[in-house]
Amino acid sequence: MIEVLEVLILVYFTVLNTFYAVAVSVATRELSYHIRRRQSVGLTELLNREFYKPVSILVPAYNEEETIQASVDSFLALQYPEYEVIVVNDGSRDGTLATLIRAYDLIETNRNASKTLATRPVRTIYRSRTRPNLTVIDKENGGKADALNVGLTYATFPLFCAVDADSLLDAEALLRLARRFVENDRLIAAGGSVRVMNGSVLKDGRVTELQLPQRWIERVQVVEYARAFLAGRTTFSALGLLLIISGAFGLFKRSVVIEAGGFLEGTVGEDMELVMRLHRRMRDQRQPYDVEFDLDPVCWTQAPDSWKVLRSQRDRWQRGLWEGLLHHRRMWFNPKYGRIGMIAIPYYLLFEALSPLIEVGGYAFMLILALTGHLNLTFVLLFLLLALLYGTVVSVAALSIELFMRVHYARPQHRLQLLLTALLENFGFRQWHAWVRFRATLKLGQKKGQWGAMTRQKITARK
């Protein structure tokens, strides 16, 4: 029995790391293609094109007093022919609304909802006297999904972009992502890259100088984001298996989402659940469609800078992953849903949702073997090689591709420090992270649909 468990654990990590290796290879090819594409299609050409689709930018906000103005400034500075920004204040208890009123000279106005989704009551609608494409909606607290649904009902354009209130968009980001909807009529949802802006220099709502955060806890998240978006989502998108579009930056066809019922309340993973529901609905109706990820557009986000906040965030992410998978369990291993049901969902179930249980179980298994005198040195070495060393090599490879092909840190020592972080994250941080996700899995069903506490640093910028 012990030998069987040892073999199963080793096979699990062998399969997982084989996927990582393939992902790095696919990501390298896709990144090269995107770099050539970006160079061949410049901003001037994009702006001069006659065909584009207007976009509504939805910004759900809850207790975002410290970051909301810098974020809205970045959205208002986007280079796009026609768009509106709709900030939905979800009953914030801090000065979020007061900050918006003061910064943008807001006054009360009347505006009717074009489509109806069941939401919490709206208190007041504001328009800006200085920025005509900015609307602020103040509503009773109902959670992020409810805030997004309110934004959907008041949006007026065919595409909507869902962004986080603590995020900044590159000036060209929306233009480059929306281009995909003009080029591909089948496209119903697309996501862009999200990167950590902690420590960077901002000017006029834009990241003008990329700098490495001083704290190790922030640096390790730079590595995580690079690996997740470069090696993970790039590969899944290229294979037609994409299940997640980040809540920090995603673009959707508004009519399709409204017909699907909007964002689902009662889950902390409303972004993944929506994408899974769109896959399910389109395949049930046998309609052709695409869901894609684009490396090119970049959204900058503020990563947690304390262990407490990071633990809370990863707890929510793990519970959200399970909630989305369980809500759509009908799709598990179901040939009716094609590669989504037979490949994408099984991967997320076995190698994402269950991975902390298996990893923590593997460490516990080794401890039990050691205490009972049955520890097999060969198993220990192979387990550490597959679970730690090989994962480290893949992380360094993914980060190296990101650093030297796409991201330009001004100081060479910053690149070396990030590579060192990629080496060290597997020894301590990874085990801590697995434990947090392990505990989150055991808490499924608790604190459903809550925003969760996220302490923000005040965003400062150079003028």
Determine the average pLDDT of the residues in 108-121. Answer: 86
| pLDDT digits 0-9 by tens, 285-331 | 999 999 999 887 688 888 999 999 999 999 999 999 999 999 999 99
What per-residue confidence (pLDDT) applies to 256? 96
What per-residue confidence (pLDDT) applies to 193? 87
Please indicate, yes or no, whether residues 311 and 395 belong to a single structural domain of this protein: no
What is the DSSP track for 153-206?
Answer: HH--SSEEEEE-TTEEE-TTHHHHHHHHHHH-TTEEEEEEEEEE-TT-EEETTE
User: Does residue 28 belong to any structural domain of this protein?
Assistant: no
Please indicate, yes or no, whether residues 326 and 354 belong to a single structural domain of this protein: no
pTM metric for this prediction:
0.89
Please indicate, yes or no, whether residues 68 and 210 belong to a single structural domain of this protein: yes
Determine the average pLDDT of the residues in 130-148. Answer: 95
Please indicate, yes or no, whether residues 215 and 69 belong to a single structural domain of this protein: yes
What tokens were used for 277?
């529901």
Greater confidence, 174 or 393? Answer: 174
% of the chain beyond a pLDDT of 90: 49
CA distances from 381 to 373, 375, 388 (A): 16, 11, 10
Last residue of a domain, one of 296, 321, 346: 346
What per-residue confidence (pLDDT) applies to 463? 41
Is the per-residue pLDDT at 116 higher than 90?
no
Counting the structural domains of the chain, the total is 2
Which CATH number goes with the domain that contains 57? 3.90.550.10
What per-residue confidence (pLDDT) applies to 3? 84
Strand 55-61 to 159-163 pairing: parallel
| Bridge partners of residue 60, in order along the sequence | 88
User: Does residue 13 belong to any structural domain of this protein?
Assistant: yes
Q: What CA–CA distance (Å, rounded) separates 287 from 334?
A: 18
Band (pLDDT 50/70/90 cuts) for residue 448 is low
What per-residue confidence (pLDDT) applies to 259? 94
Residue 184 amino acid letter = N
Strand 187-196 to 290-301 pairing: parallel
**Short-list 332, 356, 355, CA closest to 344:** 332
Q: What CA–CA distance (Å, rounded) separates 382 from 17?
A: 13
User: Does residue 238 belong to any structural domain of this protein?
Assistant: yes
Determine the average pLDDT of the residues in 442-463. Answer: 58
Check residue 456 and report its DSSP letter: P
Residues 6+ apart with CB under 8 A from 14: 386
**Short-list 21, 17, 20, 2, CA closest to 386:** 17
Last residue of a domain, one of 346, 373, 407: 346
Q: 293 near 245, Cβ under 8 Å? A: yes
User: Does residue 88 belong to any structural domain of this protein?
Assistant: yes
Q: What CA–CA distance (Å, rounded) separates 383 from 9?
A: 8
Range of the domain at 290: 53-346
What per-residue confidence (pLDDT) applies to 390? 64
What tokens were used for 372?
């009972």
Mean pLDDT check: name the lowest of 4-8, 304-308, 338-342, 405-409: 405-409
| pLDDT digits 0-9 by tens, 322-342 | 999 999 999 999 999 999 999
Q: What CA–CA distance (Å, rounded) separates 413 from 17?
A: 29
Last residue of a domain, one of 346, 361, 390: 346
Determine the average pLDDT of the residues in 49-53. Answer: 66
What per-residue confidence (pLDDT) applies to 454? 53
Please indicate, yes or no, whether residues 356 and 342 belong to a single structural domain of this protein: no
Please indicate, yes or no, whether residues 302 and 397 belong to a single structural domain of this protein: no
Please indicate, yes or no, whether residues 229 and 95 belong to a single structural domain of this protein: yes
User: Does residue 35 belong to any structural domain of this protein?
Assistant: no
3-state secondary structure of 11: helix
Q: How far apart are the first and last CA of the chain?
A: 66
Please indicate, yes or no, whether residues 327 and 393 belong to a single structural domain of this protein: no
What per-residue confidence (pLDDT) applies to 205? 67
User: Does residue 454 belong to any structural domain of this protein?
Assistant: no
Q: What CA–CA distance (Å, rounded) separates 165 from 424?
A: 31
Please indicate, yes or no, whether residues 212 and 115 belong to a single structural domain of this protein: yes
Q: 68 near 87, Cβ under 8 Å? A: yes
- Block residue for tokens 């699907």: 260
Strand 83-90 to 55-61 pairing: parallel
Greater confidence, 272 or 14? Answer: 272
Residues 6+ apart with CB under 8 A from 66: 456, 457, 458, 459
Mean pLDDT check: name the lowest of 68-72, 91-95, 224-228: 224-228
% of the chain beyond a pLDDT of 70: 87
Please indicate, yes or no, whether residues 354 and 247 belong to a single structural domain of this protein: no
Please indicate, yes or no, whether residues 266 and 283 belong to a single structural domain of this protein: yes
User: Does residue 417 belong to any structural domain of this protein?
Assistant: yes
What per-residue confidence (pLDDT) applies to 92? 94
| pLDDT digits 0-9 by tens, 168-224 | 888 788 888 998 898 899 999 999 988 898 888 877 667 888 888 989 999 999 888
Determine the average pLDDT of the residues in 348-366. Answer: 92
Greater confidence, 332 or 388? Answer: 332
What per-residue confidence (pLDDT) applies to 461? 47
**Short-list 387, 371, 385, 401, CA closest to 434:** 387
User: Does residue 450 belong to any structural domain of this protein?
Assistant: no
Greater confidence, 81 or 52? Answer: 81
Please indicate, yes or no, whether residues 237 and 221 belong to a single structural domain of this protein: yes
